[in-house]
A and B are shown apart, each in its own frame.
Chain A
Amino acid sequence: MSAECPECGSKVELPEDAVENEILECALCGVELEVISLSPPTLELAPEEKEDWGE
């Protein structure tokens, strides 16, 4: 079971026991991903923490 990384376009293998809302990491670009759906396998960028950088 695999899905495309929305960040870099690479194929990301999902673990067999993956569940929806699980957080994964793309092995190639390192971005954090959230499993949105298992059928079909779909990944989105994981939610970002909100940080104040003094801007």
Chain B
Amino acid sequence: MTEIQAAVVGGSGYTGGELLRLLLRHPEIELTGIVSRSQAGKAVHRAHPNLRGVTDLKFISPDALSTSDLIFLALPHGTAMSEIDRYLKAADRVIDLSADFRLREPASYPTWYEHEHPRPELLEQFVYGMPELHRAEIKGARWVAVPGCTATAAIIPLKPIIDTFKVKFVVVDAKVGSSAGGTLPGPDSHHPERVGVVRSFKPTGHRHLAEMEQELNPSGEISISFSPHAVELVRGILATCHVFFADSGYSEKEVWQAYLSAYKEEPFVRFVKERTGIYRFPEPKLVAGTNFCDIGFERDEHSGRLVVMCAIDNLMKGAAGQAVQCMNLMFGFDERMGLEAWALHP
């Protein structure tokens, strides 16, 4: 079988490294270029020591990038949108992992990202790369925008609930690992400052809320609030979603039916709702390094709210894993290919 030739642009960051870890062992992919301005000429394992002995590839400069079947863009926000023409010419398919093409409405960019979008006419041609919601569109897509990590951890568990019940408002509280902050250090990521924190870093107005609004609340009838916290994790997100209904007379069995009818066949959605044991509900620890999205829930008999929990690995289902899942769909591969990994325990 002919392998797909793929390149990764922005290969030296954490998301780029995770893409390389997945693509280097993907049976249908030949990596033909790994671009990094800062690391050009250096061996890949200099930036990603976990890949030592796995590949002899070196980083190349953007000007050395040749044409390929597919390009992954793992660039800082704002870079892909300003350089997109170069990459659309270099490959027939493009998967962008930044926020640059996630939002369909051009007016959303000044609102959430504080700048105009330089290529607004392209936005509607990018498919929001969440297979659980947009599988058919992804299969036919040339260009895909991979969702944000905390947006993924909120949208996947909330979508069946909002589609099934009359929801009044939702509050999403997310605990986020430090790798979501990228490779560039700052005063806030300095070890003595970062270790041990439970830090509310954007209690209102986080940019991923724009994606939640787009995917969960197109009519604007629901109030969605989102507050993320930096916690003592390197990888992982735990999103706790508090859902309040117009009528709280629902049962847990109805919640189960909503989830099973939506996700029973999903290869990466698992339900975690145990009455006994240590791991009764989703935990980031048990999805680290995997593409799983673990969902649990419990009805609050006191207030009638539904508490929904979702755990993902921010670099996997929240970025590179979801990107590879989209790639598999775009090229007609088994959706699980290259993503068959389980977390370590303990």
Interface residues of A (CB under 8 A from B): 7-10, 28-32, 45, 48-49, 51
5 additional A-B pairs beyond A29-B271, A30-B272, beta carbons within 8 Å, are A7-B253, A9-B253, A10-B260, A28-B271, A29-B256
Min distance, Cβ A38 to any Cβ of chain B, angstroms: 23
Interface residues of B in 263-299 (CB under 8 A from A): 264, 271-276
Give chain A residues whose Cβ lies under 8 Å from the Cβ of B276. 48-49, 51
Min distance, Cβ B154 to any Cβ of chain A, angstroms: 22
Contact in complex: A8, B274 (CB < 8 Å): no
Contact in complex: B260, A31 (CB < 8 Å): no
Q: Is the interface of A mostly helix, strand, loop or mixed?
A: loop
Min distance, Cβ A9 to any Cβ of chain B, angstroms: 5
Q: List 15 A-B contacts (CB under 8 A).
A: A7-B256, A8-B256, A9-B256, A9-B257, A10-B256, A10-B260, A28-B256, A28-B264, A28-B271, A29-B273, A30-B272, A31-B274, A32-B275, A48-B275, A48-B276
Give chain A residues whose Cβ lies under 8 Å from the Cβ of B271. 28-30
Question: How many B residues touch the partner, as a band?
Answer: 10 to 19
B252 interface contact, C-beta 8 A: yes
Contact in complex: A29, B275 (CB < 8 Å): no
Contact in complex: B275, A31 (CB < 8 Å): yes
Interface residues of B in 238-258 (CB under 8 A from A): 252-253, 256-257
Give chain B residues whose Cβ lies under 8 Å from the Cβ of A32. 275
With A8-B253, A9-B253: A28-B260 Cβ-Cβ less than 8 Å: yes
With A7-B252, A7-B253: A45-B260 Cβ-Cβ less than 8 Å: no
Min distance, Cβ B100 to any Cβ of chain A, angstroms: 38
Min distance, Cβ B50 to any Cβ of chain A, angstroms: 32
A51-B257 Cα distance, complex, nearest whole Å: 29
A50-B176 Cα distance, complex, nearest whole Å: 32
Give the residue name and chain of the B residue nearest to A8 (CB).
Answer: B256
Contact in complex: A30, B257 (CB < 8 Å): no
A51-B272 Cα distance, complex, nearest whole Å: 19
